[in-house]
Amino acid sequence: MAVRNPAFFDQLQRWFMTLPHCQVLGLEYVEADAGSVLLRLPYSEAIVGNPETGVVHGGAVTTLIDTASGTCIYTLFDAPESVATLDLRIDYLRPATAGVAVLCRAECYRLTSQIAFTRAVAYQDEREIAHGVGTFMRTQVGAA
Amino acid sequence: MTQSEMKHCWQLARENGDYSAVIVAIPYARTIGMQMAEQAGELRFTLPFAQSNVGNVLLPALHGGVIGGFLETAAVLTLLTSAETNAIPKVVDFSIDYLRSGRPVDLYGRCEIVRQGKRVANVLMTAWQDDLAKPVASARAHFLLS
């Protein structure tokens, strides 16, 4: 099923990818559907956490999962509104392989009038490296 | 960087109380620009405000992922300071509650090692800006130590 409001989502997704910290990490948008999104974190020296092994830092994976989880909620909105992360829990299943991009598929599996519930998987090729679950608060634009 | 270079780096830092070489050795920590220092017997972490850490340009606010990455790094560095080993602890799980948006000013962090066993450690982390009593985020994590 397609994204609810393609014009809004497309604009928003482009805007997300140009946010300063997303640019620093080089986050890329890959695809979206109603309730789900796929983002890509390219490998770069700047995000290495372990200088001995060259493995990507958990913090960069946290940002990837946070951004993907937040973004997927917008695929379900008919009209522009915004969300804020309430909490995020990440399980690091295995170390990432150095030199390889990390992909993240996030889905919003329940949307209520106030809260969005998300789950996400970060992986390299077929290997899952992290799982994330999050909750987000919906905020009407202009309400604050 | 090899294990022995890393070890040397830590020795110097402990002796001089200057941890900048340790931060430089961790590319991600350098990328977000975090700093660490000893203050009143505990480690205090600082993330000076940088435009490159912004995740919402309208508010503006720090990216939630940066706050998470900052705290996770702080926990790793706190464990490295207290542990005898110089192997970097591996994060098993990380859970963060976002309590307030991170305004475009400096962010501070501190960690509490709740329990440190032979193989696993549990760490609590807090991030705040002007007032420690008004935290921006609190987090907890488990790390494998061997």
CATH number, domain of B33, equals 3.10.129.10
Residues of B in contact with A50 (CB under 8 A): 26, 88
**ipTM entry:** 0.91
pLDDT at B16: 81
The answer for residues whose C-beta is within 8 angstroms of residue B19's C-beta and 6 or more apart is B13, B35, B36, B37, B77
The nearest alpha carbon in chain A to B101 belongs to A84
Overall domain count for chain B: 1
Neighbours of B61 (CB within 10 A): 19
Instruction: Show the domain range for A75.
Output: 6-140
Q: Is residue A113 situated within a structural domain?
A: yes
Quick check: B36 and B19 in contact, CB under 8 A?
yes
Report which of A99, A96, A103 is spatially closest to residue A39, judged by C-alpha positions: A103
Domain of A33: which CATH number? Answer: 3.10.129.10
Å between A114 CA and nearest CA of chain B: 16
Residues of A in contact with B92 (CB under 8 A): 91-92
pLDDT at B83 over 80: no
pLDDT string in tens for chain A (144-residue length): 899 999 999 999 999 999 999 999 999 999 999 999 999 999 999 999 888 899 999 999 999 999 999 999 999 999 989 999 999 999 999 989 999 999 999 999 999 999 999 999 999 999 999 999 999 999 887 654
The answer for residues whose C-beta is within 8 angstroms of residue A143's C-beta and 6 or more apart is none
Q: Is residue A83 situated within a structural domain?
A: yes
Overall domain count for chain A: 1
Instruction: Show the domain range for B90.
Output: 3-144
Computed over every residue of chain B, the mean pLDDT equals 91
| The model's pTM | 0.92
Q: Is residue A1 situated within a structural domain?
A: no
Element at A55 (helix H, strand E):
strand A55-56
